[in-house]
Amino acid sequence: MKAAPAVPMAWHAAAGALAAPFFDGVRPLLRELQCEVWPSLAALNMLAARQRIANARGVPIQFVPPLAEAISAMRYETCIAETGEVPTRDNWHDLFNALQWIAFPHLKSALNAQHARLLAAGGSAEAVARSAPRDVLTMCDESGIIVASRDASLLELIRRFQWRELFVVRREQVIANMRFVLVGHGLMEKLLSPFIGITAKAMLLEVDVKSVELDHAAAAWLRDQAHLADARQLAPLPLLGIPGWDARNESAAFYDDTTYFRAGRRLRV
């Protein structure tokens, strides 16, 4: 009898962590991939093909084995933009990247298209030293979170680092009128073991969360060149303060930790 393939302990050990709200954006995909072995490229490609995931040029996305040698940022992004092939290793970082492609294809294709455009315009200099727009794109891709609300005043509290006003005084409004969806695959990897201090970079979208498709809205935000001007377009957000995302924040005293819930440079200025 053929021996069963080895079971990566990391996949099973993470089952409890994956139940947390941090991963709700890819929750349906995680349910489909529940298995006794690490999700294969074939399984990921089946999900991508079923949803007809494509890059900005309409080329179908395919998850492929990584190259043997190290791959540069220019080659990685250009390869995806031209061929639709996404080099994918058997690790959490790349798995979350693949899941984000499947869950948020318009956002991911917009990120890749902007990277490819900037790399083509800047050449080797852009590949060696990222410009401000590519810094914003990278932060969105690795550490991004979509924060959406039709109530602009709630979004403004994030911009002004008014954490107690937002999460304590107006907590019920936050729960009723805001949506928080993590899209940074690097941050997802870190959130397998969350810690005080962990912070996301927020795209603040003033939209009706009940009627707008957040994938499309976030992609439109990225296509606005003004949002790529500098990193201050992304608002820092202490993730463990979001209602329901950490049991400790049920107590108002949790927000007294000013080393985590900081006033922020913009507010002090």
Residue spans per domain, the chain: 12-130, 139-268
The C-alpha atoms of residue 135 and residue 127 are separated, in whole angstroms, by: 12
DSSP E strands in 95-185: the ranges are 144-149, 178-182
The C-alpha atoms of residue 61 and residue 105 are separated, in whole angstroms, by: 9
More confident residue, 266 or 51: 51
Taken in order 163, 152, 243, 184, is the CA torsion positive or negative?
A: negative
Residue 257's contacts (CB-CB under 8 Å, 6 or more residues apart) are 196
Report the C-alpha dihedral over residues 127, 132, 136, 138, rounded to 10 degrees.
20
The distance from CA 92 to its chain's CA centroid, rounded to whole angstroms, is 13
Q: How far is CA 227 from each of CA 37, 223, 231, rounded to the nearest angstrom? A: 41, 8, 9
pLDDT at residue 56 greater than cutoff 80? yes
Model pTM score: 0.91
The dihedrals phi and psi of 214, each to the nearest 5 degrees, come to -65, -30
> What count of Cα atoms within 13 Å lies in the side-chain half-sphere of residue 17?
14
The C-alpha atoms of residue 95 and residue 24 are separated, in whole angstroms, by: 15
Q: What is the pLDDT of residues 235-258, one digit of tens each?
A: 999 999 999 999 999 999 999 999
Q: How far is CA 3 from each of CA 7, 8, 36, 38, 39, rounded to the nearest angstrom? A: 12, 15, 14, 16, 18
Q: What is the pLDDT of residues 160-196, one digit of tens each?
A: 999 999 999 999 999 999 999 999 999 999 999 999 9
Q: How many CB atoms are located within 10 Å of the residue 12 CB?
A: 10
> What count of Cα atoms within 13 Å lies in the side-chain half-sphere of residue 86?
29
Q: How far is CA 38 from each of CA 76, 128, 185, 214, rounded to the nearest angstrom? A: 23, 34, 17, 29
The dihedrals phi and psi of 148, each to the nearest 5 degrees, come to -125, 140
The C-alpha atoms of residue 260 and residue 237 are separated, in whole angstroms, by: 10
**Minimum mean pLDDT range among 1-15, 62-76, 152-166, 181-195:** 1-15
pLDDT at residue 69 greater than cutoff 90? no
